[in-house]
Chains A and B, each alone.
Chain A
Amino acid sequence: MGLVVRTAMRGMRLLGLLLVLGWVVFPVYLMVKISLSPPEAVLRPVPEIGLHRITLEHWRRLLSSGGLYPPLIKSLTVAGLTVLLSLLIGVPSAYAIARLPRNWSYRLSVAMFLSRMLPEVVIALPIAVIFIRLNLLDTVMGLVFAHTVKALPVACWLLIGVFRSIPRDLEEQASVDGATTWQILFRIVIPLSLGGIAVAGVFAYLLSWDEFTYAIYLCLAKPTLPLKVYYYVNRGDWFLTSAYAVVTTLPVIVLTYVLHLFLREDVFAGSLKE
């Protein structure tokens, strides 16, 4: 009897898992499928669900149009530099905050999120005005700075939790041995926190990669990849839109997998961990 119940439970769990998996994966599958389907397989009253007929025509159009590479390179560059800048500022800041007395640390952690509490459309215009005044319209650095506004609080919040999880005894011991604060940070804290730093970096990357609002304001001649997808949603056909959406989604899937490898329980404990 017990065996029957256990088997039934296991079956139910498996079914639930498959349902959730289907719910998540099916839209991505459809996107890939449409990008590989001839119009007659999709533009019909009941579209084909399986990949019975495959064409690379839409991908050929995408790759030969010359419209893919500049936005792709721009998005990659902006996201890469956003990670760099977020970590350059975020690591020392988060370390300093993590070592403050708990009530101050808590207040600062909350304060960091103030800019994220306002709707993005509200703060995007004034920020864009400042950046345009600084001649940052259509530049990579303009977007990097704007995206860092978004990514830095999240990176700091994650890193505060990571640094808190490192026992202070280690640092005190190093200090007794004559290490300076910077030496402690670079030789002890950072090597022990590489996993958490990687997670913060990946989060910063993902926030920058699909960022849209600032890009709308700060790009004119040179769009990012999300703007290109937006363009095809507005102006293109389903097939090219799907192909662009696949290109935009691929790095997110890869990075999410990487993120999963680095994830540890304490990474999300943030500054609120007791």
Chain B
Amino acid sequence: MGRVLRLNLLGVSAVLTAFLFLFGCSSRGPQRPVLRVVMGLTEEEWSVMKTEVFPKFEQRYACRISAYQVEANDWIRKLEAMERAGRVEVDVFAQDNMRLYPLVAKDLVEDVSQYADLIPDEVPKALRGVGIFNGKLYFFPYRPNVQITFYNAEKFAEYGLNPPRDWDELLSVAKVFKEREGIGKVGLKLWGGSPTATQIYEMVISAGGEPFSFTDEGWRRTFRFLKELYPYLSPDSKRAKWDTTNIYLANGSFYLAQNWPFAIGVLVKTYHKDYIKAYAGWRGPVRPAHVVGGEVLGLPKGGEHRELALKFVKFMLSREVQTILLRRLGWPPVRTDVYAEVEDWQRPYFEAVKTALKDGVFRPNVLFWGEFEKLVNSAVTRILVKGEDVDGVLQECGEKMQEVMREAQTNGDG
């Protein structure tokens, strides 16, 4: 019995020791104030932040920055868990501008209306609106993004083609590639989810449609055109998202496709495909339209270092930091006075970004965007893949969308 007891005590002591040891390891004892920052970045982006951006701030404000990698989707639930637990261990965060509404709706983010003057005059007015909800400023714009169009310049030259400027030319180019190569080489992002919904949204706006109507002439015109174009698209369109589009451009499955400017770095620097060029893209039958995305900075409710966080926001919007981010990472700057700083190899790509931004359209920040995505995906599958009737499917989707919007209005979510 004694031996059994000793064994048990030994086991319990071992567990307790490990427990104390591991808790001991997790304790922190900062001397200077520690600003805790959340961002979702690539390794290269983190490297620039940690070696060229953050040290300047740390030196200037005698503090230390602890930076954490969190993806936009995960950040909402993570912050919710921290807020509910009453331990918000983050002071400032960067967030995708399409994932803002849940943060406001769940009351997880500070109203920063009184600090609106932190946004410099050089930030275009169009970009300021993205952080405003019900007339209050919750987020500071800090990284704009716009979809541009990438094309394989060698293949276009080989077939004597120019990048398409409107839908008619897009169809012609798609037909030439299919005819010459025996397989479609124009890529659309039809995998589903946000990439597909964003692509269709942009086309509908450029065809004169209302964002959530599904039944107006803009929507019908868009899907009739897509139905005509679909047989000439690359088969990989069905698997194309933001990330896979880069792969398909790099491996020659796509000769023409839209994506965010982050693709510039991936295609040219990582995959060494410098024959892939970019331009703003094609216009629709009614107007040119390019979806504006990007990131904003926000302060979570319950963060410890509010003043320091506001200084960080001001710092990130400064000409100095925006220039570093443009030159080192190729990020389109939030300030108009920084475009002149672009490097030579980036210049053609940034001309495309600048042109596209002139016709930039925002995706509305609504809680029912997820439902909208599902309905768009359903319309794409039924009309393009299964070949169902355009008007019938859109009518059905439009009715469902109306229902979703009515529900959102009743719940005060719209």
Stretch at the interface among B80-88, B201-209, B216-224: B80-88
The interface size bin for chain B is 35 or more
**A81-B18, A88-B11 known; A235+B81 contact, CB < 8 A:** no
Chain A count of residues within 8 A CB distance of the other chain = 41
Does A206 have its Cβ within 8 Å of any Cβ on chain B?
no
| Contact status A133-B87, CB under 8 Å | yes
Taken together as a complex, chains A and B put the C-alpha atoms of A104 and B100 apart, in Å, by: 50
Stretch at the interface among B64-72, B138-146, B159-167, B386-394: B64-72
| Contact status A216-B1, CB under 8 Å | no
B40 partner residues in chain A, CB cutoff 8 A: 234-235
Does A26 have its Cβ within 8 Å of any Cβ on chain B?
no
A45 partner residues in chain B, CB cutoff 8 A: 251-253
Does B61 have its Cβ within 8 Å of any Cβ on chain A?
no
Q: Tell me the smallest distance from the CB of A68 to a CB of chain B, in Å.
A: 12
Main secondary structure of the interface of A (DSSP, over half): helix
Q: Tell me the smallest distance from the CB of A274 to a CB of chain B, in Å.
A: 32
Does B409 have its Cβ within 8 Å of any Cβ on chain A?
no
Taken together as a complex, chains A and B put the C-alpha atoms of A140 and B25 apart, in Å, by: 9
Does B385 have its Cβ within 8 Å of any Cβ on chain A?
no
Taken together as a complex, chains A and B put the C-alpha atoms of A88 and B7 apart, in Å, by: 12
Taken together as a complex, chains A and B put the C-alpha atoms of A237 and B84 apart, in Å, by: 36
Does A85 have its Cβ within 8 Å of any Cβ on chain B?
yes
Taken together as a complex, chains A and B put the C-alpha atoms of A141 and B17 apart, in Å, by: 12
Q: Residue of B at shortest CB range from A221?
A: B68
Taken together as a complex, chains A and B put the C-alpha atoms of A65 and B44 apart, in Å, by: 11
Taken together as a complex, chains A and B put the C-alpha atoms of A43 and B248 apart, in Å, by: 8
Taken together as a complex, chains A and B put the C-alpha atoms of A129 and B266 apart, in Å, by: 38
Does A156 have its Cβ within 8 Å of any Cβ on chain B?
no
Taken together as a complex, chains A and B put the C-alpha atoms of A182 and B243 apart, in Å, by: 58
A170 partner residues in chain B, CB cutoff 8 A: none
Q: Residue of A at shortest CB range from B185?
A: A45
User: Mask for A176-196, Cβ within 8 A of B = 1, else 0?
Assistant: 000010110010000000000
The 9 closest A-B pairs by CB, nearest first: A132-B85, A43-B251, A133-B85, A128-B81, A139-B26, A140-B22, A235-B42, A43-B250, A129-B84
What is A's interface to B at a CB cutoff of 8 Å? Answer: 39, 42-45, 47, 65, 67, 77, 81, 84-85, 88, 125, 128-130, 132-133, 135, 137-141, 180, 182-183, 186, 216-217, 220-221, 223, 230-231, 234-238
10 residue pairs A–B, Cβ–Cβ below 8 Å: A39-B272, A43-B271, A125-B81, A139-B23, A180-B1, A183-B1, A186-B7, A223-B69, A234-B71, A236-B43
